[in-house]
Every structure is written in C-alpha cells, then in structure tokens.
Amino acid sequence: MDVTEYIKLVFTDYTLRTITLGTAILGAVTGMLGSFAVLRKQSLLGDAISHAALPGIAIAFLLTGAKNSNILLLGALISGLIGTFWIRGIVKKTHLKSDTALGLILSLFFGFGMLLLTFIQKQPNANQAGLDKYLFGQAATLLESDVWMMAIVTGICLSVLLLFWKEFKILLFDADYTKTLGFHTKFIDILITSFIVLAIVLGLQTVGVVLMSAMLLAPAAAARQWTNSLSMMVLLAAIFGAFSGVFGTAISASQNNLSTGPVIVIVASVFVLVSFIFSPTRGLLFKQIRFIKNRRDLQLHKTLAFMYNIVESHENISHPHAIKILNNFQGYTKSTLQKLVRKNYVTIDGNMWSFTEEGFKAATNLYNQQINNNE
C-alpha cells in the first residue's frame, strides 16, 4: 500500500481512521504537556514515569485476569503516580539529586514490572498473550473506545490548561516568587505533574513504555526552536505532536505495517532535527550564516577604520594613498579592498587608493559609532 492509497483509506477504512485519530490526539496532548516538562527541566521525568507504569499494568492484569485496556491503564496511572511521588520524596528528603532519583525509580519500577511480566507469561492463563505490547506499543490495537478516552482526557487537559494558564506560567518561571504572591504552589505543581502522568499513561498502548518519553520531549524541543512565547510553544508542540502521530501512522501502514510507535517517534525526531537546523533565530544554519556575515563585515569595518585614520590627516578626502601602507595592517587583504571598491567606497588607480565621498562618510560614521560604544 502506498501513501496515496493510505490517504484514501483513512477516509474509508474504519480501523485505520481510528488509529490515525488516536495517534494524532495522543501526539497533540503529549506535545502540549511536554512543553511544561521541558521548561521545568524535568525532561527525564517522563521517561521515569512511563517505565514506572509497567508494574501497574502487570498488577492490574494479575488482579483482574482480563486485558481490558482501561483497567490496565488505570493500574499504569496509579503506579506512575506512585513512582512520581517517590521521586519527589527522594529529592526532598535526601541529599540525592533529581537525576539519581529518576534513575533509581526508573530502573526499580521497570525491573519489577519486567519480573511480573515474565511471571505472568509462565501462568496457564491464555489471556496473557500480548501483554508485552505495552513495552513498545501497538497502535493497531487501538479501539474506538480508546480514542474516545484519549479525546476526553485531552479535552479536560486543555480546559485545565486554559483555566490555570497564568498560574502554570508563573510557576514554571519562578516558583519561589509565585509562593510569595500567595498561590498554593504545591497544588499547581501536583496539577501539572498529574496531567503529565495522565498523558504518558494514555500513550502506553500506542507507543509503549520504552519510547513514550520521546513523545513528550521531541515536539516540545522542536517547538521551542521556533518561538519565544510560551503559548505559541505549547500550540506548536501540540501541532508537531499531532503531525508526528499522523505521519508516523501513515508511514507504518504504507510500509508493510512497520511498528507504529517507533515510526511515530522517528518522525517526531525529524521535526526536532529540522527545527534545530532551520529555525531562523535559534537554528544552527542561520546562526552559522550570521556568524560568517558578521565576521566579514567586521573585516571590512576594520580596514575602513584603518583607512579613515590615514585619510583624516589630509584636507582632501580623496587624496590618493599607496596600497602598500595597508599591508602593514593585518586586516587588509586584496579581496577586502575589492569589496570596498564594489561598494563604491574606494577607487583604485594603479597601486594607489583613495576614498570616495560615500566611503569617507561610511568610515566617519563607523568611527563615531566605535567611540560612542567605548564610552
């Protein structure tokens, strides 16, 4: 199946439509909330939470013996929250830094989850097959009811975000100050963190425990490159996330059913890569171009300033001088001189140069500017 066929199928095929819609909503909500995680420098928290959710899934299955995805995700939510609050507790009560706490909880919970999974696989219960799909996710198992669930959670998320926008923003920027204004910072903090956990748990079925944090971080990191406004960043991250979901599903469906989760994550990473290189203000490409241009300008300015010093002592600004004297000055090269000629700042006659009216004016301005800057 190629891409055009896929696009046709999205509108006709029920399953494909469900999956596409599901991954798009998932991408949007994780991108949105991921912006907050990235700005709080809690990028790794997502990774720890998603890994911490695994034992919850296993325990929920052991208790109910059924593979109802809502119940399994409830289990994931609970153990994800427990993991998160343990991390907070460790950071608060011990001298350990948060990266250590995150690493500890991540491996502890994930290890325990894997242990439970292998235990379950040894059980005679025939139902257990396919529980390991939560490791890497399987978008194909998304049902309409799952997508509804995602849509509802996203809706709640969005309304809370809009309602408490001001509080979220100030807490992200300056938590101590927020406290002095009389806001209950712990409440805002728990609200944000809980929604991040919720978004991660929603994505476990589709993208899986191992790759879920990429869904949280990649769209947000990409969005940060394009804007200096928080609202724009959140919006862009949602859009990037949604498109990653849609493109990822399209590619995976049209290429022999490649595993959807990893493809979505790779698409999201492409967004990041493109943003890192091509963003007009923060991108590497334009930064490099600006750097080279500045260096060239500076070279011209240096030569011009040097010439000005020579010319200044003469009554007639167009009085010719030997090119040779410029050689003593290390900033001078033939190409610099040619550039000045092209700009009509300097005329060359044999091995003598002289300023034009325009060139003298430019050099004077430059000189005054430098003096003003030094003051």
| Closer of 177 and 278 to other proteins (Cβ) | 177
Cα–Cα dist 222/217, whole Å: 9
| Closer of 100 and 141 to other proteins (Cβ) | 100
Least distance from other proteins to the Cβ atom of residue 144, Å: 34
Amino acid at 270: V
Element (H, E) at 322: strand 321-322
| Closer of 39 and 307 to other proteins (Cβ) | 39
Structure tokens at 236: 């862009």
Least distance from other proteins to the Cβ atom of residue 366, Å: 23
Least distance from other proteins to the Cβ atom of residue 164, Å: 7
| Closer of 12 and 180 to other proteins (Cβ) | 180
Least distance from other proteins to the Cβ atom of residue 162, Å: 10
| Closer of 26 and 39 to other proteins (Cβ) | 39
Least distance from other proteins to the Cβ atom of residue 189, Å: 14
User: Could you tell me which residues are beta bridge partners of residue 349?
Assistant: 352
Least distance from other proteins to the Cβ atom of residue 60, Å: 35
| Closer of 256 and 374 to other proteins (Cβ) | 374
Contacts 24+ apart (CB under 8 A), 307-313: 307/346, 307/353, 307/355, 307/359, 307/363, 308/360, 308/363, 308/364, 308/366, 308/367, 311/355, 311/360, 311/363
Least distance from other proteins to the Cβ atom of residue 32, Å: 14
Question: Tokens 């029920």 belong to which residue?
Answer: 14
| Closer of 18 and 35 to other proteins (Cβ) | 35
CB-based contact 50:197 (threshold 8 Å): no
* Chain contacts with other proteins (rule: CB under 8 A): 39, 41, 163-167, 169-170, 172-174, 176-183, 224, 227-230, 232-233
Cα–Cα dist 24/123, whole Å: 36
Structure tokens at 137: 């996710």
Cα–Cα dist 235/242, whole Å: 11
